[in-house]
Amino acid sequence: MDKDRAARATAMKRLDVFIGEWTLEASFPGAAIAGRAVFEWMLDRQFLLERSEVPGAPDSLAIVGFDPGREAYCQHYFDSRGIARVYAMSLSDGAWTLVRDCADFTPLEFSQRFTGSFSGDGRRITGRWETSANGSNWEHDFGLTYTKVR
C-alpha cells in the first residue's frame, strides 16, 4: 500500500466511531427538537455518509471524505431546501469540528462552525453550532447532541 493510500485508510478508520444510528436533540432557547441520524460507509469505506431527519428542520445528507492536503476531512452537506455547502472537518482526541469560512456552492453570507465532544464511551456527542458575520466574533446558534442508539 502506498503512502497516500495508507494515510487515507488510517484517516477513514478513525471515523468508525460515527457508524450506527443516533438520536439527535437540537436545543434552542426555550425549545428542543428531537430527530435521528444514521452514519454508514459508502463506496468501499472511501466515504462516510450521514443522513439526518429532524422534524421542523431540513432533512440532510452529508458525505465525508479524506482531504489529503490537510490530513483531515472535507464534508459536503446537502439539505431538503436545496442548500449545498462544504465544511472543513477534523476529528482528534474526541473532538469533532466542522468549519465553513469561505464561499463554496453558495455565497458566504456568514461563517459557521460546529464543535462537538465525544463522551468517554463514544456513545454521546455534545456539541454546538455557531455563526459569525465577520469570521472573528462567534455567536451561539443552537446546541446539538447525538446519542448512539445502535
Check if the beta carbon of residue 132 is closer than 8 Å to that of residue 126. Answer: no
In the three-class reduction of DSSP (H, G, I as helix; E, B as strand; rest coil), residue 6 is classed as helix
Check if the beta carbon of residue 11 is closer than 8 Å to that of residue 73. Answer: yes
Q: Taking the domains of the chain in order of start, what are their residue ranges? A: 3-22+33-148
C-alpha distances out from residue 61 to 46, 69, 135, 145, Å: 16, 24, 25, 17
Check if the beta carbon of residue 1 is closer than 8 Å to that of residue 121. Answer: no
Contacts 24+ apart (CB under 8 A), 53-62: 54/24, 54/26, 57/26, 57/33, 58/83
Q: Residue 7 and residue 13: Cα distance in Å, rounded?
A: 10
In the chain (150 residues long), the average pLDDT of successive 10-residue segments reads 82 96 93 96 97 93 91 93 95 96 86 97 97 93 96
pLDDT of residue 117: 98
Q: In CATH, which superfamily holds the domain spanning 3-22+33-148?
A: Calycin beta-barrel core domain (2.40.128.20)
Check if the beta carbon of residue 72 is closer than 8 Å to that of residue 56. Answer: no
The secondary structure of 43-99 as a DSSP string is TTTTEEEEEEE-TTS--EEEEEEEETTTTEEEEEEEETTS-EEEEEEEEETTEEEEE
pTM value is 0.92
